[in-house]
Amino acid sequence: MKIVGVEFWPVTMALREPYAIAYETVSQTVNIFIRLETKEGLVGYGCAAPDEGVCGESVDQSLTALNQSKDLLLGANPLRYAQILQDLNKTMKTASAAKAGVDMALFDLIGKRAGLPIYQMFGGFRTRIKTSVTIGILPMEKTLAVAKNFLDQGFLALKMKGGKDLEDDIARVAAVRKLVGPGFELRFDANQGYTVEQALAFVEAIRPWEIELFEQPTPKNQPGLLGQVTDQVHLPVMADESLLSLLDAFHIAKNGLADMVNIKLMKVGGLDEAFSINSVACAAGLECMVGCMDEAGLAIAAGLHFTLARPNVCYADLDGAMDLLDDPSAQAVILRKGYLYPTNRPGLGFDLEEPLKMVVS
């Protein structure tokens, strides 16, 4: 095979309802859709969702990196994806989301060439996975209303955001636990908002309310603090913003900084790197979650295929597309009663109709 066409275009999507986390409020997102066409007529699609707060990558930086990469992609054989991805480090070293989008499109082509969904090609461990849905930082009454709405829709796991106000976080967790009842999966993400002392106080205070895991309580630029929390609490502690690369995964594993890791394709540069990070985590006895940014359905599909392929990736937080308006790839995954399913078509399982395409060249 040979790539003869490279196109990409940004799409702005509003959120049905803005949400707040510890360090920002989000009301819309921009994703960049990527199209690779081969001489044989196969077309592969990918999606980049740059996030300056998490990846340090703006939309303009993603577009620049994609422009600089066109010559590397044109004429390349997508079946040699390892060589292509290595070459892309020259132009995408600081553009992990852009690289993730190209990586997805390459794997989409490979799956279509093989006639298989990606998750079946790389292990096929499971055929569906439960996903959590997120409740941002909201007043108590609104928090409970959102939680009740998710329950009514059949979701089986909730992730609450916090990190701004310790006492408020504790009160909201207690109230949501009383609403959902015992045994329901409840997760909490502080998004780097706590000191070590606050994190320890939070975990002790919510002990009766039995949360499943505690995500990124402390600042990512001080990894030792995350390790201090991990060493002193009874709950599993998950690294998220602290994990941006394979080297980060090795550092977290070697130094025992967390019990779990949240692998996001946009942070690490795509499926190929995610599989490597998962191998490190598996060797160190760390369970993995696949998370997401505010990503269109096509990018969520890539995260889903990764989750389904490997036994060690046993948690999913793939709700990034659920609140997006005018997502051209909204049907790329199937949601039923709190579980995500692939379409089971070859590759990522979805082809864009491209009605909004504004080709950048």
Residue of 173, 152, 148, 175 whose CA lies nearest to 161: 173
What number of CA atoms fall less than 13 Å from residue 90's CA on the CB side?
A: 11
**CB distance 79 to 113 below 8 Å:** yes
28 beta partners: 14
**Is residue 254 annotated as part of the catalytic site, yes or no?**
no
Of the residues 7, 108, 185, 240, which is catalytic? 240
Q: At what angle do helices 166-180 and 196-205 cross, to 10 degrees?
A: 30
Of the residues 189, 259, 273, 323, which is catalytic? 189
How far, in Å, are 47, 236, 244, 313 from residue 247 at the CA level?
A: 24, 22, 8, 19
Residue 52 dihedral angles phi and psi, to the nearest 5°: -65, -35
**Is residue 130 annotated as part of the catalytic site, yes or no?**
no
What number of CA atoms fall less than 13 Å from residue 127's CA on the CB side?
A: 4
**CB distance 135 to 161 below 8 Å:** yes
**CB distance 277 to 246 below 8 Å:** yes
**CB distance 207 to 222 below 8 Å:** no
**Is residue 264 annotated as part of the catalytic site, yes or no?**
yes
341 CB-contact burial (10 Å; exposed 0-12 / middle 13-18 / buried 19+)? middle
Of the residues 7, 51, 169, 215, which is catalytic? 215
Of the residues 99, 112, 159, 264, which is catalytic? 264
**DSSP secondary structure letters along 71-118:** HHHTT--GGGHHHHHHHHHHHHTT-HHHHHHHHHHHHHHHHHHHTSBH
**Is residue 215 annotated as part of the catalytic site, yes or no?**
yes
**DSSP secondary structure letters along 123-179:** T---S-EEB-EEE-S--HHHHHHHHHHHHHHT--EEEEE--S-HHHHHHHHHHHHHH
**Is residue 40 annotated as part of the catalytic site, yes or no?**
no
Of the residues 112, 161, 220, 267, which is catalytic? 161
Active-site positions read 161, 189, 215, 240, 264
